[in-house]
Amino acid sequence: MDGIHDLGGMQGLGPVVHSPAEPAFHHRWQAVARALMTVVAGAAGASGGEFRHSIERMDPGHYLTSGYYEHWLTAAATLAVEHGLVTHSELEARAGGRFPLSGPVLAPAVADAGPDVGEPRFGAGDRVRVRDWHPPGHTRCPRYVRGKAGVVVRVDGTHSVPDIEAHGTARRHEPTYSVRFDAADLWGDGQRGVSVHVDLWDSYLEGP
């Protein structure tokens, strides 16, 4: 989905508020939220793709105004409700107030994942172009490279396609590639001497 999480290249978000060192958790609730996500993902049998998508479906305003561990909390609660571990009204009753959850899945469930892709279609040095498409479900293909041409710099072996695993129990495995894009090709106003490398699954790519 073209969601708020897909931030690459967005403007107007302000400066990076950097700190040279910080604790793993600033507050105990953050550690608890983190652990509860593991609990829920285990009990629900949620894949990495399904977990990430449950964050991506957050209300955009809530996403931008809450930190990382509030994302995890919202995702954990959303998956817990969707998988029948708890109900939304139980959560709100126990919290004594509103308990915002992520929005519904917009993509249909995947019943047939299609065949695995064993052999890489491309090798290092090959020119490729990213498919220009806008799937309604989970994807790890950032918007800022869709339709753009780049060069494969590395082939990384075969992995489960997130777009499939986020939407059911079916799985398809494909090679992934690191693809180098010239910043000038991505942004027009790209800074000189800059390249951006994005790791992409086989089905995200087409020939030049």
Partner 1 sequence: MSPDSHHPAAMSPVEQRVAALEALLTERGLVPEGFIEEVTRRYESEIGPMNGAKVVARAWADPQYKQRLLAGGTAAIAELGFSGPEGDHTVVVENTPAVHNVVVCTLCSCYPWPTLGLPPAWYKDPPYRARMVREPRTVLAEMGCRLPGDVEIRVWDSSAEVRYLVLPQRPSRTEGMTEAQLAGLVTRDSMIGVARL
CB contact set of 81 (below 8 Å; sequence gap of 6+): 87, 88, 91, 101
- From candidates 2, 61, 89, 90, binder to partner 1 by CB under 8 A: 90
Q: How far is CA 1 from CA 57, 78, 169, in A?
A: 9, 17, 19
Kindly state the smallest distance separating residue 199's Cβ from partner 1, in Å.
Answer: 4
C-beta closer to partner 1: residue 101 or 111: 101
Give, as ranges, the residues between 144 and 163 that touch partner 1 (CB under 8 A): 144, 154, 156-157, 159
Distance, in Å, from the CA atom of 31 to the CA atom of 158, rounded to the nearest integer, reads: 32
C-beta closer to partner 1: residue 22 or 111: 22
Kindly state the smallest distance separating residue 208's Cβ from partner 1, in Å.
Answer: 21
Largest Cα–Cα distance in the chain? 58
Q: Please list, residue by residue across 54-66, b when 16 or more beta carbons sit within 10 angstroms of its beta carbon and e when fewer do.
A: bbbbbeeeebeee
In the beta sheet, which residues pair with residue 174? 159
Distance, in Å, from the CA atom of 126 to the CA atom of 207, rounded to the nearest integer, reads: 9
C-beta closer to partner 1: residue 17 or 111: 17
- From candidates 120, 196, 203, 205, binder to partner 1 by CB under 8 A: 196
* DSSP letter assigned to residue 14: -
- From candidates 2, 49, 76, 182, binder to partner 1 by CB under 8 A: 76
Kindly state the smallest distance separating residue 128's Cβ from partner 1, in Å.
Answer: 15
Give, as ranges, the residues between 106 and 145 that touch partner 1 (CB under 8 A): 140-142, 144
Distance, in Å, from the CA atom of 36 to the CA atom of 73, rounded to the nearest integer, reads: 8
Kindly state the smallest distance separating residue 8's Cβ from partner 1, in Å.
Answer: 3
In the beta sheet, which residues pair with residue 158? 175
Give, as ranges, the residues between 36 and 65 that touch partner 1 (CB under 8 A): 36, 38-40, 43, 52, 55, 64
Per-residue string for binding with partner 1, 160-189, x by CB under 8 A? ----------------x-x----x--xx--
Q: Is 18 near partner 1 (CB under 8 A)?
A: yes
